[in-house]
Structure 1
Amino acid sequence: MTAPEPDAFTAFSSPRRSMVASGTAQVIELPAPWVDHAAHAHERLARIEGSEHVVAFAALPFDRGEPARLVVPERTWIVDSDGERVRVEVGGSPLRATATPDRSPATSGGRVSGARSEMPREIDVRAAVPPQQWCGDVREARDAIRRGELTKVVLARAIDVSADVPLDDEDLFTRLRSSHPGAFCFAVDRFVGASPELLVSRRASTVRARPMAGTTTRTGHPEVDQRAAGELLASDKNRREHQVTIDAVHDALLGWCSYLDAEPAPSVVQAGPVQHLATMVEGHLGQPEPSVLELVAALHPTPAVGGHPTAVALQMRERLEQAGRGRYAGPVGWLDASGNGTFAVGIRAIQLDDRGGRLFAGVGVVADSDPEAELEETRSKAQAVLSAVVRI
């Protein structure tokens, strides 16, 4: 078990619930491969006295074969959409949880993890791989798709951020939450981001997913963006890419559900400097009901972040990207002792370290992809995080 981190900042915010936390009461290790140990992780929480109030957070690796961990904070401030505000504290030996109403600054956007870090004076941003080399990888993948080896592969660019002092994860989370109010904003193990995409949520017997695939840029001009949204909806390339993801998510959830349905047509969702095609999938879980982490393991990775067919696409991604993704595009979210929870797709995010951090921006490569256009799309997606980083 990893040693507790007394000053750790952890958070997850969605339109339904906002949670910020400090300290580490318990770390739950998931040995490699983490997907084989995910189904019963919530049962570890049930051993804590007062566990009905306990929440664990996780930012899971993209690679299903790696180990992972869940973090139970010492103090968690929770604000639900109905306005209820609660502080949950976990501590003692054996661990015990208490929950009390709370209207402190922490539930109103105040700082929770101690003194603010020193502000950086110098920030340097550079691509880990030269842009033209990355475009060459896109061409190679596109040619393989045209030969019929696969239908889609997701390739991501790594972008390194260097600063003269460590970046403050709580400040970055606060900025992202302010600029992306409809997103799933998170800070777990210094992996900080604002994802537009719901991987899966479970609330009692109701399961929801909202896959996204198919992207165009936003300019900030309503008429221009509305026209681009219409073109996105009418694009055969993007609609095909989107449908592959919807079908995969539907098939992965179907075996768990007594009822499952998807919206008849996608909608366009604005996400900072870009907009995406999105479709809500909703169902009723059958018995025995799986935990949210069991559903996460069944779904990840979707074609939206890996490609299709999955095995072939992941092999090509690993060969062309070379650098490991870490937590990028992995599931990130929370769960409770009943197996309820919400997990987003860990995109539009940066993994912070003592020198700055690394972020990724990915695109879905298909038969008619244009490498230069895909490069521009990665720049737009990266800007969602970089615009918050450079203002810290």
Structure 2
Amino acid sequence: MMMNHDQLSPGHMMHEAPSSPECTPALSRSAHAQNAAPTFFLSSFRAVKASRLQKRLDLNQACQQLAEWRENAAFHAGHVAPTIMGALPFGLSAQAELFIPTDIALTTREMFQADYGAETIEEPTLQSYHSDLSEARYCDLVIDVKKRMAHSDLRKLVLGRCARLRFSGPVHVPSVVRRLITQNQRDMVFQIPLRDGSILIGASPELLVRKTGAQFCCHPLAGSIPRSPDQAEDARRGQMLLSSAKDRDEHAIVIAQLRSQLSDLSRDLDIPDIPSLTRTATMWHLSTKLRGSIRDPKMSALDLARLIHPTAALCGAPKDLAFRTISALEPSGRGLFAGLVGWSDARGDGEWVVTIRSGIIKGAEAQLFSGAGILPGSNPEAEWREIEAKLGTMRRALGLEPDKM
């Protein structure tokens, strides 16, 4: 199993063992088909592959199940503990997509990629593309948000839009997944079958929380700029982002919110004074790694994730006002987009990432989402270019040119 400097504790071995007992439209299939759909979560910390669905859970049921498992059972080191996987929505009061797999295995990214092979098939062609916000309308909303900031306590708002794509035939999900894995080597790749028959897939660069034992790590991203294929220009853009006052302010709001949320929950909270640069295949981001120890040994990774989600990197600040403003301005509703994907096990360990650079696929249809952090100093046209660039991850995975729809 893969290990790197981000890993918080040693001792996880590869074993296979059974586990124990509104941007999303109404896209249903039989329980048998749901159980047949593969589920996986790949990161540098752990690569988890699950099959067959034992039971679906809401968020409260999942947290209760994890507490019961941890209270009533002991797990041998090196063996897979009973695990809950799935996805949480942007608004936690909405329906979660959490479940207990019947079978779960720890693998590696390389082994998983090899399982997909190198099969090529004829790709369906894109027939239609619709964004729920045009460029002009999005820019108007950015101006609206800036006016609200001038007359309220709103300091930051993440403004998103949803795109819907229709192809000439069913999207071949294994091909999309293969591209996600090969094109996004640094990112966390996932595939989650949903109860309505659609499939959530993506390659997220943003870790909300990873927990093992008492140790946890958060790696939020806030402040972004599109990358360039020209090496010199790409390096210049990274340095420009690092010195951007607007982006540094945006990032500082995210870190201040997390500091406030985590200080009472943790010991030895370590937060670097200045952000670092993180890159994906399409974007440069400002990032900060926060590390600490949880005070309450009974708190699971899922418990911690639900307490800090959504962060200002996904929502805004102050959180409640930003959440209400997003609900009023975004036309489609986010559903699972800008939510969380990951796993938590009976030991309390787990890993939850932000559901960005992702899509929901069913048959010949795909839905994508992207957003940008709006501040008083935001330029509307630049924010539009940012959300267009952020769609590049899924455009490439769908076999489309990243900047042409």
Instruction: Give the TM-score, by structure 1 length.
Output: 0.85
1:80 Cα deviation from its structure 2 partner: 5.2
What's the counterpart of residue 67 of structure 1? 95
Distance 1:108 1:229 in 2: 30
**Aligned-partner residue type, residue 21 of structure 1:** A
Deviation at 1:342, TM superposition (A): 0.4
- One-letter code of the match for 1:220? P
On the 8 A contact 2:164/2:367 being kept in 1, the answer is yes
Does residue 13 of structure 1 match 2:37?
A: no
Is the CA contact 1:38–1:297 (under 8 Å) kept in the aligned structure 2?
no
Provide Cα deviations, 1:298-319, integer angstroms capped at 9, x if missing partner.
1100001100011111111111
The reply to whether residue 76 of structure 1 matches residue 104 of structure 2 is yes
Partner of 2:115: 110
Task: Deviation per CA, 1:267-293: give whole Å up to 9, x if none.
Answer: 110012111000000001123341001
* One-letter identity of the residue aligned with 1:214: G
Q: 1:130 aligns with which of 124, 127, 134?
A: 134
- Give how far 1:391 is off: 5.5
Tell me the secondary structure at the aligned position of residue 358 of structure 1.
Answer: strand
Shift in Å, 1:241: 0.6
In structure 1, which of residues 349, 356, 365 is the aligned counterpart of residue 374 of structure 2?
365
Tell me by how many angstroms 1:224 deviates: 1.2
Does residue 165 in structure 1 map to residue 169 in structure 2?
yes
The 5 Å alignment of 1:247-266 reads 247-266=256-275
Distance 1:227 1:159 in 2: 30
Q: Which amino acid aligns with 1:10?
A: T
Output the CA distance in 2 between the equivalents of 1:242 and 1:38. 31
Matches within 5 A, 1:1-392: 3=31, 5-24=34-53, 26-30=54-58, 34=59, 36-37=60-61, 39-43=63-67, 52-79=80-107, 107=112, 109-111=114-116, 119-189=123-193, 190-390=199-399
Return the letter of the residue paired with 1:111. Answer: Y
Deviation at residue 37 of structure 1 after TM alignment: 4.8
Q: Give the direction of change, closer, same or farther, for the CA distance of 1:60–1:116 in structure 2 (3 Å limit).
A: farther
Distance, in Å, in 2 between the alignment partners of 1:222 and 1:289 is 48
Which amino acid counterpart does residue 347 of structure 1 have in structure 2? I
Tell which deviates more after alignment, 194-203 or 251-260: 251-260
* Aligned-CA RMSD value: 2.6
Residues 26-56 of structure 1 deviation map (CA, whole Å, 9 limit, x = unaligned): 12311xxx3x555334246668998844332
Contact 2:49 2:105 in 1 (8 A): yes
Partner residue in 1 for 2:8 = none
Task: Decide whether aligned partners of structure 1 residues 312 and 194 sit closer, same or farther in structure 2, where only a CA change above 3 A counts.
Answer: same
Q: Please say if residues 226 and 386 of structure 2, whose CA atoms lie closer than 8 Å, have aligned partners that are also in contact.
A: yes
Residue identity opposite 1:110 in structure 2:
D
CA 244–130 in structure 1, closer or farther in 2 if over 3 Å, else same:
same
Change (3 A) 1:254 1:49: closer
User: For residue 176 of structure 1, what is the amino acid of its counterpart?
Assistant: L
Q: Is the 8 A contact 1:78 1:107 kept in 2?
A: no
Deviates more, 1:50-59 or 1:212-221: 50-59
The alpha carbon displacement at 1:181 in A equals 0.6
CA distance in 2, matches of 1:108, 1:373: 36
Whole-Å Cα distance in 1 between the matches of residues 333 and 36 of structure 2? 28
Partner residue in 2 for 1:101: none
Q: Are residues 164 and 49 of structure 1, via their aligned partners in 2, closer, same or farther at CA, if it must alter by over 3 Å? A: farther
Q: Secondary structure at the match of 1:6?
A: helix
1:231 is displaced (CA, Å) by 1.4
Cα contact 1:256–1:286 (8 A) shared by 2: yes
Identical-pair percentage: 28
Q: SS of the residue aligned with 1:136?
A: helix
2:130·2:165 contact (CA, 8 Å) conserved in 1? Answer: yes
- The alpha carbon displacement at 1:161 in A equals 1.2
User: What number of residue pairs does the alignment pair up?
Assistant: 361
Q: Offset of 1:254 from its aligned partner?
A: 1.9
CA shift digits 1:88-108 (9 cap, x unpaired) = xxxxxxxxxxxxxxxxxx645
Distance 1:340 1:158 in 2: 33
In structure 2, runs of 5+ residues without a counterpart are: 1-29, 194-198
CA distance in 2, matches of 1:16, 1:132: 42
Q: Aligned equivalents of 1:267 and 1:320: distance in 2?
A: 32
Q: What is the TM-score normalised by the length of structure 2?
A: 0.82
